[in-house]
Chain A
Amino acid sequence: MGRINATDLSWSVKGHRLLDNIDLAARDGKVVGLLGPNGSGKSTLLRLLAGLRRPDTGTVEYDETNLRDLSRRILARRLAVVEQDVTAHNHVSVRQVVELGRTPFRGRFDALTEHDQQVIDAALSRVGIADKQHQSWHTLSGGEKQRVQLARALAQEPREILLDEPTNHLDIRYQLELLELLGSLRVTCVVALHDLNLAARYCHHVVVLDHGQVFAAGPPETVLTAELIRSVYGVEVLVDREPTAGTLRITYLAATTSRTDATVVAG
């Protein structure tokens, strides 16, 4: 179970500041939810955490090691990234996609070892897609593709996973199952989410971004208040507890006029 520690991250494009002094910590196999309206900087922050973009200021550490001191290959042996809406340009099979997760462990000319095959098998059945492993990736539904990406990430045997809106194309059951799975993995996760109820239920900790800054951070119970959701998302909500399990429940009432650029929430 790895530890991610980001301090004071800033990033701008052509003088336009997209992220400003972001602090984020994730550890001990906990699931950290990254919340905020469209364009608040969630995907950009995930890219900085993954080392895919270099921040203007600030540092990202994995178990006290600065990201800059880790080679891409060494990093990929502990950190997996599940991107949003990826497409393949060639006709790969489901299993071949999951095999890609072994890339950071394989020599250039090595065949897959028995251990590699076991890890791939385990990852395929973990996300419930083992029966379609020989199918072409292109024949899958959006939700199945998403699960294959997660299986590919699991095949990296990661200590940390970064996920950008992984529940996007999933039906309700798989949304719940995916987040339950993340919680049970003993892998530290940072996951960008749109659905506040899912975040409230499955994240141990949430970080709310607004206009590239951290608006609030902490356990969902203390962060996800009606006031916060009104000022960040521009939506009137009712926050209460659902009666059986007592978890936080957010009911959307109406879009307010106080915020014009984000009137639709909860994709």
Chain B
Amino acid sequence: MTTNLHEPARRVPDPIAGSRPTSSRLRRASVPAVILLASVGLLTSIIAASLFGSANIDHLDVVSTIMRHIGLGELAPNPPLPRLLDALIWESRFPRVLLSAFVGAALAVSGAVLQAITRNPLADPYLLGVSSGASTGAVAVILLGIGGGISLSTGAFVGGLVAFGLLLVLLGGGRVASPTRVVLTGVLVSQFFAAITSLILMVSGDANSTRGFTYWLLGTLAGARWDGVTFTVVIILAGLLAIQFFASSLDAFTFGWDSAAALGVNVTAVRIWLMVLTSLITAAAVAASGAIGFVGLLVPHAVRILGSPMHRSLLPLSAVLGAILLIWVDTFARTAFTPHELPAGVITALLGAPAFALVLKRLES
């Protein structure tokens, strides 16, 4: 309380304020630098994770193979590999690592956005019922044969979007719904679709199909093939770019919806757009890999704790961190107990529970 309220506005009133320009210039410069650093970490992770696997392949061979396939063959340090090894890297490992990266990014950003618009630190990508709808879609396709031979992923993607559509209808388009109502409607939709899924499993599930479904439900990236991966990557990439467009509006949500509106944000439109976009990328992620838990809940909190609460940097950093995390979780999941694979979702849950306890402790202080 050293300064007086009705002191005339001066540009450099005291040594502390005087030091401001330097420190904030530093901070402004450091955000792109951190994002750049994180992106380098992500690229390194993508290459490095492609090295791991049951077949032992030299790292320069892996790098050369990837370079050859993305049109940089001229620069490749090593000669081409036999076709089988080439396919192992390019058709199996690389798309899987790429899928992990995009699923991780989608879940982390989706969580960050939903935490901001519902102002609820416990919000995660599955808050709006998308994953429950996806499960229902998956079992409907596999056990009931609905859709005339479409894949589990397609069924899950459609199911996720149907659940979100139901949520929007229940919210009356979301015009005046409060954050609490959005959260509770999400719970309602989730429970409803979970019940339908259980019902289908009880009535027409046999041991085999139930087991396959359960494995997908736990969250696994084992199904990664180029055709599916390309679809997922395109949807998620487009969604992430569109979401970044709303970053500054999300900052204005810091003190709530009315406060955002008073700062000039069209709250109704921004909220609907962000709910649509997060549901789209979440549905794409779940369809490709099941409901992998904790990434979307934890990564945004970790980035905030690391000191980046504003969404212009929070969203890209969450994306990169989520991508790196899921790449390594999946690498561990597919290599730690060869020839057996663990579902990645089991590992995120195992790591996530204690990590979340740490976050909670940190949030309290």
Using a CB–CB distance below 8 Å, which chain A residues touch chain B? 47, 50-52, 71-77, 79-81, 83, 86-92, 95-97, 100-101, 103-104, 106, 108-109, 111-112, 117-118, 121-131, 133-134, 147, 156, 174, 177-178, 180-181, 184
Which residues of chain B from 100 to 127 have any CB-CB distance to chain A below 8 Å in the complex? Answer: 115-116, 119-121
A92 and B254 contact, Cβ closer than 8 Å, known pairs A52-B262, A77-B264, A131-B16 = yes
Q: Which residues of A contact B251 (CB under 8 A)?
A: 100, 103
Measured CA separation A130–B248 after assembly (Å): 24
A127 B5 Cβ-Cβ under 8 A: yes
Chain A residues within 8 Å of B256, by CB: 83, 86-87
B16 and A81 within 8 A (CB): no
B259 touches A133 (CB 8 A): no
Known: A125-B9, A130-B17, A174-B5. A89 touches B262 (CB 8 A): no
**Do A101 and B263 touch (CB < 8 A)?**
yes
Q: In whole Å, how far is B105's beta carbon from the nearest beta carbon of chain A?
A: 19
Q: How far is the CB of A36 from chain B (nearest CB, A)?
A: 21
Chain B nearest CB from A72 CB (Å) reads 5
Choice from B1, B10, B28 contacting A128 with Cβ under 8 Å:
B1
Residues of B within 8 A of A134 (CB): 23
Say whether chain A's binding surface is mostly helix, strand, loop, or mixed. helix
A100 to B255 Cα, complex, angstroms: 10
B309 is contacted by which of A74, A96, A109, A177 (Cβ under 8 Å)? A96
A97 touches B254 (CB 8 A): yes
Smallest Cβ-Cβ distance to A101: which chain B residue = B263
B80 to chain A, nearest CB (A): 43
**Bound-state Cα–Cα, A76 to B262, Å:** 6
Question: Are A81 and B262 touching (Cβ within 8 A)?
Answer: yes
Asked whether B309 lies within 8 Å of A181 as measured between CB atoms, the reply is no
**A72–B6 contact, CB under 8 A?**
no
Give min CB distance, A128 to chain B, whole Å: 4
> Which residues of chain B have C-beta atoms less than 8 A from A76's C-beta?
262-264
Between-chain CB contacts (< 8 Å), 5 pairs:
A50-B262, A76-B264, A83-B258, A126-B5, A126-B9
Give the CA-CA distance A80 to B245 in the complex, in Å: 24
| CB < 8 Å neighbour of B6 from A71, A81, A181 | A181
Q: Is the CB of A86 within 8 A of B259?
A: yes
Whole-angstrom distance between the Cβ of B310 and the nearest chain A Cβ: 6
B13 at the interface (CB under 8 A from A): yes
Which among A50, A103, A130 is the interface contact of B14 at CB below 8 angstroms? A130
Interface residues of B (CB under 8 A from A): 1-7, 9-11, 13-14, 16-17, 20-21, 23-24, 28, 115-116, 119-121, 245, 247-248, 251-252, 254-256, 258-259, 261-266, 304-305, 309-310, 312
Give the CA-CA distance A87 to B121 in the complex, in Å. Answer: 13
CA of A131 to CA of B16, assembled, Å = 6
A50 to B304, CA, bound (A): 31
Q: Indicate if the CB atoms of B17 and A72 lie closer than 8 Å.
A: no
- Known contacts: A89-B254, A100-B263, A108-B245. The answer to whether A128 contacts B5 by CB under 8 A is yes
What A residues does B258 contact at CB under 8 A? Answer: 47, 52, 81, 83
A-B contacts, CB under 8 A, total: 137
**In-complex Cβ contact of B20 among A121, A174, A184 (8 A):** A121
Q: How far is the CA of A111 from the CA of B24 in the complex (A)?
A: 12
With both chains docked as a complex, state the minimum distance between the C-beta of A108 and any C-beta of chain B, in angstroms: 5
B-side contacts of A156, CB under 8 Å: 263
Given contacts A76-B264, A100-B254, A100-B263, contact A122 B309 (CB under 8 A): no
Evaluate contact between A91 and B309: CB separation under 8 angstroms.
yes
Residues from chain A with a CB closer than 8 A to the CB of B312 are 109
Cβ-neighbour of B255 out of A83, A104, A125, A129 (below 8 A)? A83
**Chain B residue with Cβ nearest A89:** B119
**Residue A118 contacts which of B11, B14, B115, B119 (CB distance < 8 angstroms)?**
B11
Interchain CA distance A169-B77 in the complex, whole Å: 68
Once A50-B262, A75-B264, A89-B254 are accepted as A-B contacts, the answer to whether A125 and B245 lie under 8 Å apart by CB is no
Q: Which B residues are CB-close (under 8 A) to A133? A: 17, 20
**Do residues B3 and A131 form an inter-chain contact, with CB atoms below 8 A?**
yes
Bound-state CA distance A118–B9 (Å) is: 10
From known contacts A87-B255, A108-B245, infer whether A130 and B304 are also in contact, taking CB-CB under 8 Å.
Answer: no
A251 nearest CB across to chain B (Å): 27
Chain B CB within 10 A, most for which of A71, A75, A89, A109: A89
Besides A128-B5, A134-B23, A181-B5, 14 new A-B residue pairs in contact (Cβ under 8 A), listed by A number? A88-B254, A89-B120, A100-B255, A104-B264, A109-B248, A117-B24, A118-B11, A122-B9, A126-B9, A128-B1, A128-B7, A130-B17, A131-B16, A181-B6
Known contacts A103-B248, A104-B263, A177 near B2 by CB under 8 Å? no
- B260 nearest in chain A by CB position: A103
- By a CB distance below 8 angstroms, the chain B residues around A86 are 255-256, 259
Contact A92 B309, beta carbon cutoff 8 Å:
yes
Decide if B5 touches A91 in the complex (CB within 8 Å).
no
Give the CA-CA distance A184 to B115 in the complex, in Å: 40
Q: How far is the CB of A230 from chain B (nearest CB, A)?
A: 34
A74 to B266, CA, bound (A): 11
A122, B7: Cα distance in complex, Å? 10
User: Which residues of chain A are near B24, meaning CB under 8 Å?
Assistant: 95, 117
